[in-house]
C-alpha cells in the first residue's frame, strides 16, 4: 500500500477572553500568587463564562479559524477527531457537535479520551488515515472547558486548570516532512490518582454524589507529579533514541503544560535549553487537550520547514507519550 507522510499543514487556537488571575484566586481560596507561580509557573488562565457555551464552542472556534487559514471549505474535511476530557455531553460525541457548528458535513467524527495525553493520542490516530491514503484532510482538535469540572473550593486543583482549544489539519506531504514517529503508553493503575469520581457508569449522578462534590477533578497532586516528571521525560528520551536524535537536532520541544517544573525536567532530560521549549503555561494554565496545539499556534511564525519537533505529554489514566514530527511549511 502506498505510504503518505501525514503532516500538519495548518494550526489554529482559541481561548476565551475572560481571565482568572492568581490574585482573583486569592480571593476565592487560601492561596497566594507566590505559591502558585513558584509551584506551577501559572500566572493566569482563561475561563469560558458565557452560560450555555461548552467545549464544542471552544473547539468550533479553533476549527473554523483553521479551515479559513488553510483556505479550504468545511466540505473538504474527511474526518474530525476531538480530544477532550470535558465533552459537552457523555454522548453524542463533542466531535459531532463541532463538525455541525463548523458546517463539516462530508466527514465522520468521534471523540478520543486520554486525559492530558489526548491530543498526541488523537494526532497519532489521525495520522494513520493519511498514511494509508484513506483520507486527504483530517482535523484534530483538542478542546476543554476545564472550568466546568474544577472545584473552586479546592486550592490544590483550582489553581491549575484553564479553558482553551487548539486544532491542526493533517494532509499528505510529498517532501518527507510530517509525523515520523510516536511512542504512546498507558497504565490504568494510575486511575485513582487523577479522575472524576462520579457521573460515569461506575457511580451515576445522584444527590449524594453532588453533595460529596464528586463531579469535579480529583487529583493526588504529589503522586501525579512524581509519575509525570519521570514518564514525560522518559518518553522524550525514548523518541530521541529511537530516531537517533541528539539534542542539537531538535528545534523545539512542545510539552504538555501541566506544571513548569515537569516541563523543565523533561527539557533537561532531553538536553534542551529553555530557548527550544515552548512555554505558555503562565498565560493559560493547564488546558488539558488544548495545551500542545495552543503552543504550536502561538509559535507558528517561528517554525521553519524541516524543523525537528518533539511533542510530549502526561495525563490521567495514566497516559503518556511523545510524537516526533518535521514541520512541513514556512509561514512567511
Ligand atoms: O496535566 C495532568 C497531570 N497533572 C499534573 O501533571 C499535575 C501534577 N501535580 C502538580 O503539578 C503539583 O503536585 C501541584 C501543583 C498540584 C501541587 O504542588 P506540590 O508542590 O506537589 O504541592 P503539594 O500537594 O505537595 O502541597 C504542598 C503544600 C501542602 O501544605 P502542607 O501539607 O505542606 O502544609 C498543601 O496543602 O502546599 C499546600 N498547598 C497550597 N498552598 C497554597 C496546596 N495547594 C496550595 C495552594 N496555595 N494553591
Tens of pLDDT, residue by residue over 216-243, are: 999 999 999 999 999 999 999 999 999 9
| Candidate of 23, 29, 39, 155 to mutate for ligand 1, largest count of ligand atoms within 8 Å of Cβ | 39
Query: Does one domain contain both 141 and 207?
Result: no
Q: For residue 160, what pLDDT band results from cuts at 50, 70 and 90? A: very high
Q: Which of 112, 144, 176 is the last residue of a domain?
A: 176
The answer on pLDDT for 317 being more than 50 is yes
- Clarify whether residues 20 and 80 are in a common domain: yes
- Whether 332 is in a domain gets the answer no
pLDDT tens digits for range 168-206? 999 999 999 999 999 999 999 999 999 999 999 999 999
User: What residue's CA is closest to ligand 1, atom 23?
Assistant: 222
Which strand (E) or helix (H) includes residue 185?
strand 178-186
Name the residue at shortest CA distance from atom 38 of ligand 1: 156
**Among candidate residues 144, 176, 208, the one where a domain is terminated:** 176
Residue ending a domain, among 176, 192, 216, is 176
Do 185 and 127 lie in a common domain?
Answer: no
User: Which residues is 140 bridged to in the sheet?
Assistant: 81, 168
Average pLDDT over residues 264-290: 97
129 within domain boundaries: yes
Percent of the chain at pLDDT > 70 equals 99
- 155 and 290 in a single domain? The answer is no
Q: How far is the CA of 112 from the centre of ligand 1 (A)?
A: 28
User: How confident is the model at residue 173, as a pLDDT?
Assistant: 97
- Choosing from 31, 221, 257, 316 the residue with most ligand 1 atoms within 8 A of its CB, the one to mutate for a pocket test is 221
pLDDT of the residue at 312: 98
For residues 216 and 89, state if they share a domain. Answer: no
Whether 69 is in a domain gets the answer yes
Together in a domain, 309 and 257: yes
- Per-residue pLDDT, averaged over 252-278, amounts to 96
CB 31 near ligand 1, within 6 Å: yes
Ligand 1 in reach of 230 Cβ (< 6 A): no
Instruction: Look at the block and give the residue holding cell 482535523.
Output: 139
Mean pLDDT of 254-271: 96
Where residue 291 falls (left for φ over 0; alpha for ψ -120 to 50; beta otherwise) is alpha
Tell me: pLDDT of 99 over 70: yes
Is the CB of residue 40 below 6 angstroms from any atom belonging to ligand 1? yes
CB 246 within 8 A of CB 288: no
Q: Are residues 234 and 312 in the same domain?
A: yes
Question: Does ligand 1 lie within 6 Å of residue 84's CB atom?
Answer: no
Residue 332 scores a pLDDT above 80: no
Are residue 210 and residue 171 in the same domain, yes or no? no
Question: Using N-to-C axis directions, what is the helix angle for 260-269 and 33-40, rounded to 10°?
Answer: 20
Residues 158 and 304 in one domain: no
Total domain count for the chain? 2
> Does residue 18 have a pLDDT over 90?
yes
- Start-to-end CA distance of the chain, whole Å, equals 35
Residues 127 and 202 in one domain: no
Active site residues: 116, 256, 286
Residue 331 placed within a domain: no
Overall average pLDDT of the 120-130 stretch: 98
Question: What is the model's pTM?
Answer: 0.97
Which range marks the domain in which residue 80 is found? Answer: 5-176
Other Cβ atoms within 10 Å of 109 Cβ, number: 21
In a domain, 162, yes or no: yes
| Backbone φ and ψ of 222, nearest 5° | -65, -40
Query: Rounded mean pLDDT of 33-55?
Result: 98
- Confidence tier at 1 by pLDDT (50, 70, 90): very low
Decide: helix, strand or coil at residue 296.
helix
Q: How confident is the model at residue 161 (pLDDT cuts 50, 70, 90)?
A: very high
Which residue's CA is minimally distant from atom 48 of ligand 1?
Answer: 155
Closest by CA to 223, choosing from 190, 268, 188, is 190
Indicate if ligand 1 lies below 6 Å from the C-beta of 262.
yes
In angstroms, what is the span from residue 222 Cα to ligand 1's centroid?
A: 6
Q: What is the spatial distance between Cα 142 and Cα 82, in angstroms, rounded to a whole number? A: 6
CB of 39 within 6 A of ligand 1: the answer is: yes
- CATH number of the domain at 163, please: 3.40.47.10
In a domain, 232, yes or no: yes
Q: What is the mean pLDDT of residues 147-155?
A: 98
The predicted structure's pLDDT at residue 3: 77
Distance CA 214, CA 107 (A): 36
Residue 117 sits in the same domain as residue 232: no
**239 occurs within a structural domain:** yes
Decide if 245 is inside a domain: yes
What confidence category does residue 249 fall into, taking pLDDT thresholds of 50, 70 and 90? very high
For residues 77 and 186, membership in a common domain is answered with no
pLDDT averaged over every residue in the chain: 97
Residue 58 pLDDT greater than 80, yes or no: yes
Amino acid at each position: 500500500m502506498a505510504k503518505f507522510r501525514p503532516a500538519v499543514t495548518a494550526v489554529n487556537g482559541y481561548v476565551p477572553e475572560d481571565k482568572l488571575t492568581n490574585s482573583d484566586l486569592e480571593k476565592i481560596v487560601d492561596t497566594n500568587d507566590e505559591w502558585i507561580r513558584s509551584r506551577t509557573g501559572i500566572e493566569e488562565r482563561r475561563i469560558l463564562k458565557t452560560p450555555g457555551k461548552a467545549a464544542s464552542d471552544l473547539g468550533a472556534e479553533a476549527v473554523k479559524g483553521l479551515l479559513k487559514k488553510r483556505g479550504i471549505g468545511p466540505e473538504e474535511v474527511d474526518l474530525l477527531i476531538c480530544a477532550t476530557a470535558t465533552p459537552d455531553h457523555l454522548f453524542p460525541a463533542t466531535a459531532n457537535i463541532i463538525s455541525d457548528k463548523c458546517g463539516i458535513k462530508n466527514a465522520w467524527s468521534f471523540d478520543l479520551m486520554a486525559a492530558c495525553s489526548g491530543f498526541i493520542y488523537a494526532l497519532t490516530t489521525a495520522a494513520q488515515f493519511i498514511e494509508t491514503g484513506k483520507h486527504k484532510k483530517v482535523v484534530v482538535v483538542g478542546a476543554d472547558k476545564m472550568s466546568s469540572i474544577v472545584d473552586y473550593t479546592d486550592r490544590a486543583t483550582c489553581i491549575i486548570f484553564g479553558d482553551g482549544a487548539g486544532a491542526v489539519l493533517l494532509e499528505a506531504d510529498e517532501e518527507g516532512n510530517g509525523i515520523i514517529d510516536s511512542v504512546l503508553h498507558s497504565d490504568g493503575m494510575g486511575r485513582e490518582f487523577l479522575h472524576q469520581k462520579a457521573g460515569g457508569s461506575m457511580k451515576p449522578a445522584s444527590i449524594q454524589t453532588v453533595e460529596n462534590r464528586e463531579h469535579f477533578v480529583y487529583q493526588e497532586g504529589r503522586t501525579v507529579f512524581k509519575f509525570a516528571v519521570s514518564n514525560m521525560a522518559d518518553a522524550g528520551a525514548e523518541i530521541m533514541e529511537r530516531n537517533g536524535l541528539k539534542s542539537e537536532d531538535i528545534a523545539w520541544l512542545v510539552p504538555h503544560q501541566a506544571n513548569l517544573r515537569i516541563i523543565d525536567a523533561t527539557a533537561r532530560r532531553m538536553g534542551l535549553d529553555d530557548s527550544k521549549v515552548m512555554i505558555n503555561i503562565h498565560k493559560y494554565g493547564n488546558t488539558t487537550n488544548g495545551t500542545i496545539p495552543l503552543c504550536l499556534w502561538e509559535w507558528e511564525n517561528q517554525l521553519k520547514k524541516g524543523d525537528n519537533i518533539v511533542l510530549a505529554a502526561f495525563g490521567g489514566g495514566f497516559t503518556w507519550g511523545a510524537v516526533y514530527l518535521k514541520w512541513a511549511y514556512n509561514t512567511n
